[in-house]
């Protein structure tokens, strides 16, 4: 469905906007947003918060909730107008379950061959530790996962990090793997985020110690971002702690959201943290073994020659 609508008209927009004429002020905003998207193209999709904070830092955009809401509105229009690609921005809220069903046997066999071509060895399997990454902002999960995936480290969104089910599931995984575990966490620098992180670390540790089969199964939690030191180091914008939050009374300084850190900086912080715990020799050995395995698997999965093929 196509709709012709003038920018700024306060009516509900549906489908694409085929005639989009933003005012000069709006066009400047969109140009700045496009510069941010171009700058961090390799980290797509970005969240709107990430675009917002970069515009605040690089282009002097107003740091207010009203300004953020305006940006959301205009970016939505620009995507509907196909000026900004839909896949450049992540603002999803849909959850589903994976279902591997196939049209027929040939479809399944083609799927298996593609899997063989993409075969990836679990780089954590031979490591002496188990690692997971937890990120507070669900919208940033694709970026975090892109960094963690080459090391076979799974990334999780910790929006429900304080749920009892999530904590018990994490503890159960650690006990099941039977290795020392490292949990790397990225979240906002504020009283609530820090308090929840500490409570979860204590709770999961207690579950692990109660359920583990031997004392070699341990867990350590490392909050690698966003710290107060990083807020100062990268000169990030801050806001006062919420007076309504009872945990704010012992909080010193301002608060800051993780998305204020540029995507490339977050990626580098996470890579550095991963390499602190990964055995590089074992990792490189697994990378080489993966190449050999992939070639062998691909040969095994080649389609069988048809009758008469290859005959003289």
Query: Domain 119-292 is of which CATH architecture?
Result: 3-Layer(aba) Sandwich (3.40)
User: What pLDDT, on the 0 to 100 scale, is given for residue 303?
Assistant: 84
Give the separation between CA 140 and CA 259, rounded to whole angstroms: 8
Asked whether 144 and 188 are in contact (CB, 8 A), the reply is no
Instruction: Single out the residue of 88, 195, 64 nearest to residue 139, CA to CA.
Output: 88
DSSP E strands in the chain: the ranges are: 2-4, 16-19, 130-135, 154-157, 181-186, 219-225
User: What pLDDT, on the 0 to 100 scale, is given for residue 95?
Assistant: 76
pLDDT by position in tens, the chain (length 312): 333 333 343 446 789 999 999 999 999 999 999 999 999 999 999 999 999 999 999 999 999 999 999 999 999 999 999 999 999 998 877 778 889 999 999 999 999 999 999 999 999 999 999 999 999 888 899 999 999 999 999 999 877 567 888 899 999 999 999 999 999 999 999 998 888 899 899 999 999 999 999 999 999 999 999 999 999 999 999 999 987 777 787 898 899 999 999 999 999 999 999 999 999 999 999 999 999 999 999 999 988 777 665 544
User: What pLDDT, on the 0 to 100 scale, is given for residue 94?
Assistant: 75
User: What pLDDT, on the 0 to 100 scale, is given for residue 165?
Assistant: 87
User: What pLDDT, on the 0 to 100 scale, is given for residue 170?
Assistant: 95
User: What pLDDT, on the 0 to 100 scale, is given for residue 49?
Assistant: 95
Domain locations along the chain: 2-88, 119-292
Confidence (pTM): 0.86
User: What pLDDT, on the 0 to 100 scale, is given for residue 223?
Assistant: 96
Is residue 213 reached through a cis peptide bond, with omega within 30 degrees of 0 on the bond before it? no
SS3 11: coil
């Amino acid at each position: 469905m196509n709709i012709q609508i003038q920018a700024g008209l306060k009516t509900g927009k549906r489908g694409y906007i085929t005639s989009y004429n933003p005012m000069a002020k709006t066009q400047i905003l969109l140009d700045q947003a496009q510069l941010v998207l171009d700058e961090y193209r390799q980290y797509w999709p970005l969240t709107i918060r990430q675009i917002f904070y970069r515009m605040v830092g690089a282009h002097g955009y107003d740091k207010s909730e009203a300004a953020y809401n305006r940006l959301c509105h205009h970016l939505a229009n620009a995507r509907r107008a196909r000026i900004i690609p839909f896949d450049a921005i992540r603002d999803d809220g849909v959850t589903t379950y994976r279902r591997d069903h196939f049209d027929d046997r040939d479809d399944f066999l083609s799927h298996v061959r593609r899997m063989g071509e993409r075969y990836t060895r679990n780089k954590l399997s031979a490591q002496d530790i188990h690692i997971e990454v937890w990120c507070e902002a669900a919208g940033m999960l694709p970026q975090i996962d892109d960094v963690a995936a080459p090391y076979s480290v799974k990334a999780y969104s910790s929006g429900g990090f304080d749920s009892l089910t999530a904590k018990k599931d994490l503890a159960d995984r650690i006990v099941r793997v039977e290795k020392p575990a490292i949990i790397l966490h990225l979240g906002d620098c504020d009283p609530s985020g820090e308090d929840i992180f500490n409570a979860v670390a204590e709770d999961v540790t207690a579950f692990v110690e109660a359920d583990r089969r031997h004392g070699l199964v341990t867990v350590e939690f490392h909050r690698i971002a966003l710290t107060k030191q990083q807020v100062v180091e990268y000169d990030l914008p801050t806001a006062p702690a919420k007076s309504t939050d009872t945990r704010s009374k012992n909080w010193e300084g301002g608060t800051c959201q993780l998305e204020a850190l540029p995507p490339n900086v977050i990626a580098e912080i996470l890579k550095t943290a991963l390499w602190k715990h990964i055995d590089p020799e074992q990792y490189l050995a697994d990378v080489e073994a993966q190449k050999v395995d992939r070639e062998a698997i691909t040969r095994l999965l080649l389609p069988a020659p048809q009758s008469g093929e290859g005959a003289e």
